[in-house]
Structure 1
């Protein structure tokens, strides 16, 4: 897929999620990656959409009065949690390119008038709409892997630009453990599900070092990514699905070629075009030649903690 196709599919998929009711699996996924029930109860109820692949706040060490920026902030899940940690003299800023996600995030903010230190901005994370030296800390949760490979390095350059000297990066992301086969890399649902676009540890180390970061640390959390598969109550738009895929809706607007690809029997995450009510069963991802229950996500990718400091 070229960059335009990637952005189009990512926008379509996450816009659909933003417009849907809160998925039943959201708490299950969040708890699997280290969030507590107390944390989930402390934020607007529609902020957690079950899209986490880790908990960047666990390594961010946020302090009162700091400015923290969340890249790919979605409905505001980590932003609202970060806002509590930086306190009323601090600021939590969410950046997202998806208008539907931003709309949901701002509705969540409006529903909680006691939260006065949060703002959301529209923008792509390869060109962050903030001034140089704005942030003390940058967080991100399962988003950078969605950026086209040719543009990923720009994300790290931008992070270095908006960080203050001594600022830090605390990211959770899915990285590849070994080269991904074409059957995975070329699958639309796997890309929008944060699998096919996963980079490697070596690539992320190079991106960070080339952008001028030091004290780079990338660690496999050993989290079980099959939580997306094993949760039995995964519903999106009323259809059985998972955190890594969903049935296309009538609002999806794709080109004829992409539409045929997404609606083919080869894509595990969508119904067969002749069976409107048929949906994925028990798997987050799949390929043309792989049964839905035959893939173990942990064999291919992992949830990694990524930390670095701007000198």
Structure 2
């Protein structure tokens, strides 16, 4: 696949995810990958989009007054959580290439008193910030979405932005074994955070080539099938006679949401392949359903056999 095709598809799918979501799927996924109830309660409504594969803040060791950058910040889930750790004298900066994500993050920020939070629309491979800006860089299930031809650029950018002695704390999906060419070339599986996963040895090489020391890459042993089971456990909020009337007026099932969801051009990402009734399911769940269907078609019945959620930690050497 060409890099442009990957970026276009990632932008299309993840841009659509900002349009809906009831919260239950997102919360289930976040808890499965290491977030506590207290952490989730402290994040503004709408910031958690259910796209985590770990909790990078748990290994970041953030302190008051530090500057932290989140690569692929989405609607600001980890940025808002990090802002509480660094306090009013620190800064939490979110970077995302998707305009819809940045717009949603800024809209959420406007409802809060998070004056130490900032969002920048940018690819993670080239960011308009000065060298030595951050004490820590975090990222959550995003680097696997960067095309292989550009991955080293992302790690080089992390190194450039970190102050000497700064650290990276990343949660990402890495491959447990070599993917078939069919899997590697499947755009839907790439967008679903599977096909673009690097081998552990490759990830280690990217970090070393960028200049990092003290590299630690640890398998979190989290169950990647959670994305599918959480989606299956979430009932459709519209489209059945059994739905309570009050649920039909919720954000998911409002007439406006159903009309937006069921536009012809959005059916693939929002309504699933067999939804002629267009039941307005959570879009994140629909993406998980689509990825599961494709994975099964390609002989992947258990994602954990092929890939895993890993914690990654590394340090930029201190200046001499």
**In the alignment, is residue 129 of structure 1 matched against residue 128 of structure 2?**
yes
Partner of 1:242: none
TM-score by length of 1: 0.85
Q: Deviations over 1:204-248 (max 9, x none)?
A: 111110111000010000001111111234479979xxxxxxxx9
More helix by share: 2
Quote the Cα distance in structure 1 between the aligned partners of 2:287 and 2:142: 25
| Structure possessing the higher radius of gyration over alpha carbons | 2
Once the 2 structures are TM-superposed, how far is the Cα of residue 71 of structure 1 from its aligned partner?
0.2
Quote the Cα distance in structure 1 between the aligned partners of 2:9 and 2:237: 17
Once the 2 structures are TM-superposed, how far is the Cα of residue 126 of structure 1 from its aligned partner?
0.5
Once the 2 structures are TM-superposed, how far is the Cα of residue 187 of structure 1 from its aligned partner?
2.0
Distance verdict in 2 for CA 1:161–1:287, change over 3 Å: same
Distance verdict in 2 for CA 1:230–1:310, change over 3 Å: same
Distance verdict in 2 for CA 1:43–1:179, change over 3 Å: same
Once the 2 structures are TM-superposed, how far is the Cα of residue 186 of structure 1 from its aligned partner?
2.1
Quote the Cα distance in structure 1 between the aligned partners of 2:202 and 2:238: 38
Quote the Cα distance in structure 2 between the aligned partners of 1:227 and 1:288: 16
RMSD (CA atoms): 2.8
Quote the Cα distance in structure 2 between the aligned partners of 1:250 and 1:182: 34
CA contact (8 A) 2:65 2:88 kept: yes
Quote the Cα distance in structure 2 between the aligned partners of 1:162 and 1:281: 32
**In the alignment, is residue 298 of structure 1 matched against residue 307 of structure 2?**
no
Quote the Cα distance in structure 2 between the aligned partners of 1:159 and 1:141: 14
Once the 2 structures are TM-superposed, how far is the Cα of residue 58 of structure 1 from its aligned partner?
0.8
Once the 2 structures are TM-superposed, how far is the Cα of residue 19 of structure 1 from its aligned partner?
1.9
Unaligned 5+ segments in structure 2 are 240-260
Q: How do residues 64-79 of structure 1 correspond to structure 2 at under 5 angstroms?
A: 64-79=64-79
**In the alignment, is residue 103 of structure 1 matched against residue 103 of structure 2?**
yes
**In the alignment, is residue 285 of structure 1 matched against residue 291 of structure 2?**
yes
Quote the Cα distance in structure 1 between the aligned partners of 2:118 and 2:203: 28
Once the 2 structures are TM-superposed, how far is the Cα of residue 129 of structure 1 from its aligned partner?
1.8
Q: Deviations over 1:32-80 (max 9, x none)?
A: 0110111111111110010000000011000100000000000000000
SS of residue in 2 equivalent to 1:290: helix
TM-score by length of 2: 0.83
Distance verdict in 2 for CA 1:70–1:289, change over 3 Å: closer
Q: How do residues 147-158 of structure 1 correspond to structure 2 at under 5 angstroms?
A: 147-158=146-157
**In the alignment, is residue 119 of structure 1 matched against residue 115 of structure 2?**
no
Distance verdict in 2 for CA 1:38–1:152, change over 3 Å: same
Q: How do residues 114-263 of structure 1 correspond to structure 2 at under 5 angstroms?
A: 114-231=113-230, 232-234=232-234, 250=263
SS of residue in 2 equivalent to 1:183: helix
Once the 2 structures are TM-superposed, how far is the Cα of residue 115 of structure 1 from its aligned partner?
1.4
Once the 2 structures are TM-superposed, how far is the Cα of residue 252 of structure 1 from its aligned partner?
5.4
SS of residue in 1 equivalent to 2:197: coil
